[in-house]
Amino acid sequence: MGIIIGVIIAVVIILMIVLYNNMLKKKNRVKTAFSGLDTMLKKRYDLMPNLVAMVQKYVAHESDILTRITKLRARAQSAKNIDESVKINKELDDAIKQLNISVEGYPDLKSSQNYLQMQAALNDVEEQISAARRTYNANVETYNTYIGMVPLNIVALIFGFKPYEQFTATEVERENKIWINQ
Amino acid sequence: MKSIFKSEEDFNQFFDRVYYNVISEYYEGYKNRRKNIIISKVIFGVILSIFFVIITNVIELNKYTGGHVWLVNFFVVAAIFACIIASIYSEIKNDMIKKNDHTIKDILAFISDVSKEQIEYEPNKMVSRSSLNEAGLFNLDRVEYNGKNFTKVPYYKNTMVFSDMCTYVYKIDETQKEIYKNGKKYIRTIKTKKKKFLFDGIYIGATMNKKSKNQIYLIPNNTSDKFIQSKIRNYINFRGYDIVLENAEFSKKYKVFCDDEIQARYILSMSLMERINKVDDIIKGKKYIVFKEGKRFTMCIEGLSIEKIKRNALPTFPNKEKERKVLLKIFNELNNLLKIYHILDLGNDLYTKYNVDDFISTAGVQSAVKIDRAQAEKIATISFKAKE
């Protein structure tokens, strides 16, 4: 009887170790994907001051949006964890999209060569962010599904594996297709 | 992007205005050769028939056929003339196929809006070994290959390269046969060397304006070709991912291998996946696609070749409508090949015109928009403070 209980305990321990390793592997892939996304986001943060400075000259009446972008950029750069970063970046996306809509009302700015070049550069960065987001979301989905399945959810609870939040389309993205890259 | 698509209507206009005269001139020039082929072959047939009739008389075949030698003569002469007609048709058809060496060049020049001199077309040349090696699809260390119809077409500020190619291995089959000699039983092993084709199709090379930092391979999901896959598998096992993308239709058709997941998703954007699906609707056949470091794009399509397109021969005798039909077929097939460039939007110059790094102001680097980081930060901070 003692041997049987010992074998059962050993099997359970081995199973726990295997499951823990799998969860950790998946979690690390989420983290790697996020660091990829973070690099792309940093590229965008670096573009923000230029964008704000360029637009400011033309759209004096839109200072609300510009201020919001600046504020969000500062907050995003100092985000403490992935979820916070995801949340702030969603807001930043909305703000940039709103700015883009506002620019529609300023033909001088819209036709400015510098602005067009900046828009193209932003577009490319957005595309890279979009790719990084898709990678992040795919990995988060795999991880969340894995730790959500019964009985893996119990193991996840024991070891403190929590689900991650995915990047989803923002309200502005849903309403208009502008700036949604690919 | 300005479209330089050529439609069937455009081709019909081109044919009526210009190309019909070119073809007519060709037929005019070919008239004498055609006459010579027909006359020489008919004379040969007549001589052969007379010779046969004389022979039947000499050997007194009448005796053996019950007076029906005329029937034998009739059938044999008819057979000779049937062969002569087939031979005339075949020789003229071959000449017409050879003429397609020029036709293909002319039509490619028309589609790509360049002069004929700018089109490089060499029927007996194939894409270089280094290019094939660069594509990384074919395991050239293990397989033999050959090809022809090398074509280089300047197309919308870029260049597209086509080449028929096939890869194969020699397989040795061993069969054992029992033989008896002097009452003794021997077993003889017969070895036969057989050519096994692995890939037979067309190689398409182009440059893509979206710069890839890594390499991405798209392999048909249903492929069983171990030679093509072995090289990729090796490469993947060491440092790559096998990823599943969001487009269900695309994922059903292709396996995607890459060494950087984010880069793969950057190149294989949602729209590019849809565009690749569109190419599948236009051109059937298994497709192997490679995006290599830099801007190199390679697509290999099985079952398609310039040689097959060339087989659409012009009619033996001039006939405007038949000529139009044949040339329209050649045009459509070549146009579909070049359309790949447009459908995949390989020439999208958004990415080459503007360099993102030019806009990211870093210490000591002046941005392309002449606003340095400090100035930009200052303006942004002032705006932020004003709001506060």
Contact between A67 and B262 using a beta-carbon 8 Å cutoff: no
Name the CA radius of gyration of chain A, rounded.
Answer: 22
| Chain A contact set for B351 (CB, 8 A) | 124
| Chain A contact set for B368 (CB, 8 A) | 117
Q: Is A126 contained in some domain?
A: yes
Q: Which residues pair with B185 in a beta bridge?
A: B180
Whether the CA torsion A61, A63, A66, A68 is positive or negative: it is negative
Q: Is A13 contained in some domain?
A: yes
| Chain A contact set for B367 (CB, 8 A) | 50
**Interatomic CA distance for residues B23 and B44, integer angstroms:** 30
Q: Is A62 contained in some domain?
A: yes
**Nearest alpha-carbon partner for A122 in A178, A65, A56:** A178
Q: Is A181 contained in some domain?
A: no
- The partner residue sitting opposite B359, judged by closest CB among A64, A74, A118, is A118
| Chain A contact set for B381 (CB, 8 A) | 70
Whether the CA torsion B9, B322, B283, B90 is positive or negative: it is negative
Q: Which two tokens stand for residue A89?
A: 């970046």
Number of residues assigned to chain B:
388
- The partner residue sitting opposite A124, judged by closest CB among B263, B351, B380, is B351
Contact between A67 and B246 using a beta-carbon 8 Å cutoff: no
**CA of B212 vs chain A CAs: smallest distance (Å):** 11
**Could you write out the DSSP letters of every residue in A39-94?**
HHHHHHHHHHHHHHHHHHTT-GGGHHHHHHHHHHHHHHHT--SHHHHHHHHHHHHH
- The partner residue sitting opposite A71, judged by closest CB among B356, B359, B384, is B384
Q: Is A117 contained in some domain?
A: yes
- From first to last of its 388 residues, chain B has per-residue pLDDT tens of 345 678 889 999 999 998 999 899 888 888 899 899 999 999 999 999 999 888 888 887 777 767 777 788 888 899 999 999 999 999 998 998 888 888 999 999 999 888 888 899 999 998 888 888 877 777 777 788 889 999 999 887 788 899 999 888 888 888 888 888 888 888 888 888 888 888 889 999 988 877 777 788 888 877 665 556 566 655 555 455 667 788 889 988 888 888 788 888 888 888 889 999 999 888 888 898 988 876 788 899 988 999 999 999 898 888 999 999 999 999 999 998 888 888 888 876 555 444 545 554 443 333 333 334 444 444 444 433 443 3
**CA of B247 vs chain A CAs: smallest distance (Å):** 12
**CA of A167 vs chain B CAs: smallest distance (Å):** 15
**CA of A179 vs chain B CAs: smallest distance (Å):** 14
CB pairs under 8 A between A and B: 110
**Interatomic CA distance for residues A84 and A81, integer angstroms:** 5
Q: Are A146 and A152 in contact (CB under 8 A)?
A: yes
**CA of A10 vs chain B CAs: smallest distance (Å):** 33
**Interatomic CA distance for residues A108 and A120, integer angstroms:** 17
Q: Which two tokens stand for residue B386?
A: 């004003």
Q: Which residues pair with B188 in a beta bridge?
A: B177
**Interatomic CA distance for residues B119 and A7, integer angstroms:** 76
| Cα angle: A107, vertex A113, A119; to 5 degrees | 85
- The partner residue sitting opposite A53, judged by closest CB among B354, B358, B371, is B371
Q: Is A98 contained in some domain?
A: yes
**Interatomic CA distance for residues B166 and B202, integer angstroms:** 8
Contact between A135 and B265 using a beta-carbon 8 Å cutoff: yes
Contact between B261 and A33 using a beta-carbon 8 Å cutoff: yes
**Interatomic CA distance for residues B115 and B11, integer angstroms:** 16
**Interatomic CA distance for residues A103 and B3, integer angstroms:** 29
Domain boundaries, position A120: 2-175
- Give residues with Cβ within 8 angstroms of B278, minimum separation 6: B343
Q: Are A92 and A76 in contact (CB under 8 A)?
A: yes
**Number of Cβ within a 10 Å radius of residue B77:** 17
The domain total for chain A is: 1
- From first to last of its 182 residues, chain A has per-residue pLDDT tens of 789 999 999 999 999 999 999 999 999 988 888 888 888 888 888 888 877 877 877 776 777 888 888 888 888 888 777 778 778 888 888 888 888 888 877 877 777 777 777 777 777 788 888 888 888 888 899 899 999 988 888 888 888 999 988 876 554 444 444 333 33
Q: Output the domain CATH number for residue A165.
A: 1.20.1440.20
Strands B241-243 vs B216-220: parallel, antiparallel or unpaired: unpaired
- The partner residue sitting opposite A135, judged by closest CB among B261, B353, B380, is B261
Q: Are B111 and B333 in contact (CB under 8 A)?
A: no
Q: Is A182 contained in some domain?
A: no
Unique residue bearing structure tokens 């008896």: B180
Q: Is A180 contained in some domain?
A: no
